[in-house]
Amino acid sequence: MHFKRRVQLEHGLRQIDIAPLVDVIFQLLIFFMLTSSFIVSSGIKVNLPKAVTSRMVKTESLEIILSGENVIYLNGKVVSLPEVKTVLKEFALRNQPLMIKADRKAQLGRVVEVWDLARNLGLAQVNIATFQE
pLDDT digit string (tens) for the chain, length 133 residues: 555 555 555 555 567 788 889 999 999 999 988 887 666 555 667 767 777 666 676 667 788 889 888 889 987 788 988 888 888 888 888 777 888 888 888 888 888 888 888 888 888 788 888 776 6
Residue 51's alpha-carbon distances to 70, 113, 132, in angstroms, are: 21, 21, 5
Q: For residues 64 and 45, what is the distance between their CA atoms, to the nearest angstrom? A: 13
| CB contact burial 93-103 (16+ within 10 A = b; e otherwise) | eeeebbbbbbb
Is the separation of the CB atoms in 87 and 123 below 8 Å?
no
Q: Spell out the domains of the chain, with CATH numbers in brackets.
A: 2-35 (no CATH), 50-132 (3.30.420.270)
Dihedral angle, C-alpha 51, 55, 56, 61, nearest 10 °: -80
Alpha helices per DSSP H over the chain = 2-12, 19-35, 81-93, 108-120
Single pTM value for the model: 0.58
